[in-house]
Amino acid sequence: MENMFFIKGVILGFSIAAPVGPIGVLCIRRTLSNGLLNGFISGLGTATADALYGCIAAFGLTVISTFLINSQFYLHLTGGLFLLYLGYKTFQSVPAEIAAKANGKGLFGSYTSAFFLTLTNPLTIMSFAAVFAGLGIGTAGGEFASGLLVLGVFIGSMLWWLFLSGTVNLLRTRFDKKRLHWVNQISGVVITAFGILSLSTL
């Protein structure tokens, strides 16, 4: 019975991560430019943020969730502006002749930027809260079941990012410098569009 919460969490985490938004575009671009590990680490930042929001929803941390929901204007503003900056930097970036090595500094930056962008969407808490209520969290299974569900969300999200970055990495050899330049420009435009969209909802 309790194992079912973990399985449902995996399915939920995979499904929430799958729609291609700004993080998906970023993951694809980073995988093509810097390799599998860099793309996957970007996704891992998002999976961590998803798990954190899942924790808040599952364990009923109302003070934190209320604060985040009440602050959504500023979070959307910050996230939208950061997306505009990221889109500009991506559009302007010039592909290297040789892909950059995945050093610690680069991986940390990839992780934290994706984590931050995911956190700037506090409405995710409301989605998790609604789904968790539908799954019976809080009325059945107690804290252990909640923990299994959150763990499942993290694993499911992580599996999606591994699948996406792994698939894109297989196509990497087909992208020369000219094509990578086009990828950077298209990614930059798409990420900027997501930033404008985020700001337009304020």
| 110-123: average pLDDT | 83
pLDDT of the residue at 97? 45
pLDDT of the residue at 5? 78
pLDDT of the residue at 61? 66
Q: Rounded to whole angstroms, what are the CA distances from 42 to 67, 68, 111, 114, 127?
A: 26, 23, 5, 5, 22
The dihedrals phi and psi of 79, each to the nearest 5 degrees, come to: -65, -40
Within 10 angstroms of residue 61's Cβ, the number of other Cβ atoms is: 14
Domain map (residue ranges) of the chain: 2-13+21-200
pLDDT of the residue at 100? 44
Rounded to two decimals, the pTM is: 0.75
pLDDT of the residue at 95? 59
For the chain, percent of residues with pLDDT exceeding 90: 11
Out of 69-78, 129-138, 183-192, pick the least confident.
129-138
pLDDT of the residue at 139? 47
- Judge residue 132's burial from the number of C-beta atoms within 10 Å of its C-beta, 0-12 exposed, 13-18 middle, 19 or more buried: buried
The whole-angstrom distance between residue 44's C-alpha and the CA centroid of its chain comes to 7
8 A C-beta contact, residue 86 and residue 196:
no
pLDDT of the residue at 163? 92
Within 10 angstroms of residue 126's Cβ, the number of other Cβ atoms is: 15
For the chain, percent of residues with pLDDT exceeding 70: 77
Per residue in 131-169, pLDDT tens? Answer: 666 655 554 556 777 788 888 889 998 999 999 999 988
| 39-53: average pLDDT | 90
pLDDT of the residue at 45? 92
Element (H, E) at 148: helix 142-170
Distance CA 117, CA 115 (A): 6
Q: Quick check: 101 pLDDT over 60?
A: no
Q: Rounded to whole angstroms, what are the CA distances from 97 to 24, 33, 105?
A: 24, 10, 20
